Amino acid sequence: MPASCEQVITLDGDLHARPAGQLAVAAAKFAADVSLTVGDKTANAKSVLAVMGLGATTGQQVTASATGSDAEEAVAAVVAILADATKVGG
Amino acid sequence: MSPSQTFRGRVVSEGVATGQVYLSSPATPAIPAIPATPATPATSAPAATSATAATAADVRAAFAAVAAERFALAERLRADGRADQAAIVEIGGLMAGDPALVDAAVTAVEGGAEPVAAVAETAEAQAAILAALPSEDLAARADDVRQVGRAVVAQLTAAAAVPPPDGDFILVGPEADPADLIRLADAGLAAIVSVSGGASSHAAIIARGLGLPMLAGADPAVLDAPAGHLALVDATGDGRLVVDPAPADLPAKTSVAPSAPDATPGTPAHRTADGQPVTLLVNAASAREVRMGLAAGAAGVGLLRTEIPFVGATGWPTQAEHEAALTPPLALLAGRPAVVRLLDFSGDKVPPFLAGTAAAGNSAAHDNGLTALLDAPEALRAQLRAILAAGRDTDLRIMVPMVSTVAELTQVKVALTEVAAQTSRPPLLGMMVEVESTAANAAAFTGPAGFFSIGTNDLTSEVLGIDRADPRMRPGLAADPRVLTLLQTVATAAADAGLPVSVCGDAAADPDVLPLLLGVGIRTFSVGAARLPQVATQVAATDTARAAEQAAAALSEAPARPA
């Protein structure tokens, strides 16, 4: 039974290309499927293009969710990047 | 007429030239060629040409090749301390590996779509999504997706392997491969622009030797410059590449790069102001440099760099490969001095197949090249055989680089004697003096060596403790009394033993150093072709007695050498 995990974070800055790249690199390290949801748009976190395509901006809520054996670690890693990397760009 | 675009780069070889933009081939041509679409934008790729087209697997491989190329470039940029540019290039690599792009294109091809059109359309669809976003940062990435799409199409159509345009062209690429410069020198290469690299890279040395303007460290955006468009390289002051320049920007002459002159027979004798004969030779790695050197009055070649065509090699070159590289330059030197240096895979010239061994702990950096060659006796013999064959009509001499022990020289001598057994007249075997301890003990080498040639670049770098790649490193530093003392030691040892001695490093072309070299008794110089006229002029204006006084004065500033 695959584990699943979900966490919501409010962005402190816009989700620019560089943090999107960091997210894709980080998410790719996990076996779990990892996705980000903003409003009605959901993106595969392992796809830099999809993450950029969210066009997420400061103040928006992002839901990070993962399904798979390492889902919990994957969500933690993704949320850490969202919290850290979007702070600077804002 | 398109508006002009300007890209900045560091000047590593001075000059001004114009030509068409020619994008260098990717390092690994991944895909068997399909009929190339002409140099039109990828989006208009016709479906008609691709009956034999690439398969879905080829499309996937082309994306992977582009991703690998971007990541490799990002790594080099990061090593150069250009982290911001590295991050942007890296995002291009991530895009080229992105399932949203790759899987969509592959699925379309599996469904029967024409591969080139499928890649272009998939990239455009992704670009459109980004372009529609309100964030300027993200919208600007739309062009990056399109660029990745074009690079993948170039891989698929082997557009990058298209031969250079007719007429003059400017080679633009992520890095400049010295072997490419030599290969293209006779085909109309007018200037070089690379994203990585610096003034001490061997590509820069070759460019200066060929008298071709070169910019390194250019903005990565230059990789998307439109192929075939007219461009201007201004490598004076602040370096820039201007694509589609306004007519007013063009220099009056289309190019100040020296044209390849025909070699004129008969070598003018060079003499100093007081009538002392001086021999001027040219440093070369290509037939073009040899032609330029002979036309500029060189008596022959004083340093043929044999490793340059092989810096990207995946194994030791075979005898046939050596001969193929050596024949064009040596064929121009019938009856003339030709000093051929054995493979010098050291410093930034370590090819992939030796890189591992160097990293594995050949501690002394200057040991790598020669030690590796001596450890591969068959590779050494293959090169010696090729040199004898290709240089049989020349006044041939063979030179060992980076010698630090007599045993190394002896080892080459044994191999040469064996290989040359059937040769009526085995060539003279000499050595480069470019290791500090070798220079200090030069007298010990006069027995086995047939001649000395001083490599001032490596010697100066070692004596002064400045890395060759350090921006502070320049040929004029050979005037430092600590270096000059060693040069005098070598010149004296050679004179005492009746051995020919020359200088083949960049210092011989430095106007401040040349009189000092004449002053310590050196009469043979080998320099880059583009520097010959200036060196000849200065030799003719120099009085050797005055030069000797100058050298003595400079030497008197030297600290006493420890016993």
Task: Name the pLDDT band for B561 (thresholds 50, 70, 90).
Answer: low
Residue B510 in contact with residue B518, Cβ under 8 Å?
A: no
Instruction: Quote the CA–CA distance of B392 and B366 in Å, as a whole number.
Output: 30
- SS3 string of B463-478? HHCCCCCCCCCCHHHH
Instruction: Quote the CA–CA distance of B543 and B423 in Å, as a whole number.
Output: 42
In Å, how far is A49's CA from the nearest CA of chain B? 7
Please tell me whether residue B121 adopts helix, strand or coil conformation: helix
pLDDT tens sequence across B462-481:
999 887 766 677 778 888 99
Residue B369 in contact with residue B343, Cβ under 8 Å?
A: yes
Are B134 and A55 in contact (CB < 8 Å)?
A: yes
The residue range of the domain holding A83 is 4-89
Report yes or no: B91 at the A interface, CB cutoff 8 Å: yes
| Angle in degrees, 0-180, between the axes of helices B456-464 and B481-497, rounded to the nearest 10 | 130
**pLDDT reading at B410 higher than 60:** yes
Domain total in chain A: 1
Could you give the residue numbers annotated as active site of A? Answer: 16
Identify the pLDDT of residue B361: 41
CATH 3.30.1360.70 is held by the domain B272-555: no
Instruction: Quote the CA–CA distance of B92 and B96 in Å, as a whole number.
Output: 6
Identify the residue with better confidence: B498 or B425.
B498
* The CA-based dihedral angle spanning residues B205, B206, B208, B213, taken in that order and rounded to the nearest 10 degrees: -120
Mean pLDDT for B244-248 is 85
Please tell me whether residue B44 adopts helix, strand or coil conformation: helix
- Going by C-beta distance under 8 Å and a sequence separation of 6 or more, which residues neighbour residue A90? A12, A13, A14, A58
Mutate to test the interface with A, among B135, B145, B146 (most CBs of A within 10 A): B135
B413 burial level (CB within 10 Å; 0-12, 13-18, 19+): middle
Identify the pLDDT of residue B298: 95
Identify the residue with better confidence: B507 or B366.
B507
**pLDDT reading at B485 higher than 90:** yes
- Does the fold of domain B169-249 match that of domain B30-157? no
Instruction: Locate the chain B residue with the closest alpha carbon to A89.
Output: B137
Mean pLDDT (chain B, rounded): 84
Partner residue opposite B90 with nearest CB, options A14, A21, A50: A21
Lowest mean pLDDT, pick from B91-105, B194-208, B229-243, B504-518: B194-208
Residues of chain A with Cβ-Cβ distance to B129 below 8 Å are 49, 53
Domain borders along chain B are: 30-157, 169-249, 272-555
Instruction: Locate the chain A residue with the closest alpha carbon to B87.
Output: A18
Identify the pLDDT of residue B105: 95
Which has the closest alpha carbon to B283: B188, B191, B388, B209? B209
Mean pLDDT for B229-237 is 91
Are B94 and A48 in contact (CB < 8 Å)?
A: yes
- CB atoms under 10 Å from CB of B237, counted, come to 8
| Long-range Cβ pairs for the range B129-133 (8 Å, 24+) | B129/A49, B129/A53, B130/A49, B130/A52, B130/A53, B133/A52, B133/A53, B133/A55
Instruction: Quote the CA–CA distance of B331 and A54 in Å, as a whole number.
Output: 63
Instruction: Quote the CA–CA distance of B11 and B15 in Å, as a whole number.
Output: 9
**pLDDT reading at B360 higher than 50:** no
Strand partners, B16: B234
pLDDT tens sequence across B57-83:
999 999 999 999 888 888 887 887 778
Identify the pLDDT of residue B31: 37
Question: Which tokens in the block code for residue B326?
Answer: 């050596």
pTM for this prediction: 0.63
Identify the pLDDT of residue B161: 60
Please name the residue ranges forming H helices in B113-262: 115-131, 136-157, 178-184, 202-210
Mutate to test the interface with A, among B63, B70, B88, B91 (most CBs of A within 10 A): B91
> B302: left (phi > 0), else alpha (psi -120 to 50), else beta?
alpha
Identify the pLDDT of residue B449: 96
Partner residue opposite B138 with nearest CB, options A25, A47, A55: A55
Looking at CATH, the fold of the domain delimited by B169-249 is given as Glucose Oxidase; domain 1 (3.50.30)
ipTM, interface predicted TM-score of the complex: 0.91
Question: Which tokens in the block code for residue B510?
Answer: 């430095």
Identify the residue with better confidence: B537 or B309.
B537
Are A18 and B87 in contact (CB < 8 Å)?
A: yes
Identify the pLDDT of residue B1: 54
Are A57 and B135 in contact (CB < 8 Å)?
A: yes
| A 7-66 residues with CB < 8 A to B | 14, 16-18, 20-21, 24-25, 44, 46-50, 52-53, 55, 57
Partner residue opposite A17 with nearest CB, options B100, B134, B138: B138
Identify the pLDDT of residue B513: 95
Which has the closest alpha carbon to B78: B62, B253, B70? B70
**pLDDT reading at B211 higher than 90:** no
Give the strand order in the sheet containing A4-10: A4-10, A61-67, A33-38, A41-44
**pLDDT reading at B156 higher than 80:** yes
Are A49 and B98 in contact (CB < 8 Å)?
A: yes
Identify the pLDDT of residue B119: 94
- Going by C-beta distance under 8 Å and a sequence separation of 6 or more, which residues neighbour residue B268? B297
Identify the pLDDT of residue B357: 56
Instruction: Locate the chain A residue with the closest alpha carbon to B125.
Output: A49
Task: Name the pLDDT band for B238 (thresholds 50, 70, 90).
Answer: confident
Are A52 and B133 in contact (CB < 8 Å)?
A: yes
Mean pLDDT for B403-411 is 95
Question: Which tokens in the block code for residue B486?
Answer: 């060693």
Q: Which residues of chain A have pLDDT under 70?
A: 1-2, 86-90
Identify the pLDDT of residue B158: 67
**pLDDT reading at B260 higher than 50:** no
Question: Which tokens in the block code for residue B363?
Answer: 């501690």
**pLDDT reading at B41 higher than 80:** no
Task: Name the pLDDT band for B265 (thresholds 50, 70, 90).
Answer: very low
Which has the closest alpha carbon to B525: B289, B319, B190, B270? B270
Mean pLDDT for B33-39 is 38
Answer CATH for B30-157 from 1.10.274.10, 1.10.760.10, 3.40.50.2300, 3.40.50.1000: 1.10.274.10
**pLDDT reading at B150 higher than 90:** no
Question: Which tokens in the block code for residue B395?
Answer: 């006044």
Partner residue opposite B141 with nearest CB, options A46, A50, A52: A52
Identify the pLDDT of residue B52: 45
Residue B180 in contact with residue B24, Cβ under 8 Å?
A: yes
Alpha carbon B478 to its chain centroid, in Å, reads: 22
Residue position matching structure tokens 């839901």: A63
Residues written for chain A: 90
Lowest mean pLDDT, pick from B41-50, B60-69, B357-366: B41-50
**DSSP class of residue B162?**
S
Task: Name the pLDDT band for B397 (thresholds 50, 70, 90).
Answer: very high
Residues of chain B with Cβ-Cβ distance to A24 below 8 Å are 94, 98
**pLDDT reading at B364 higher than 60:** no
Lowest mean pLDDT, pick from B27-36, B169-178, B355-364: B27-36
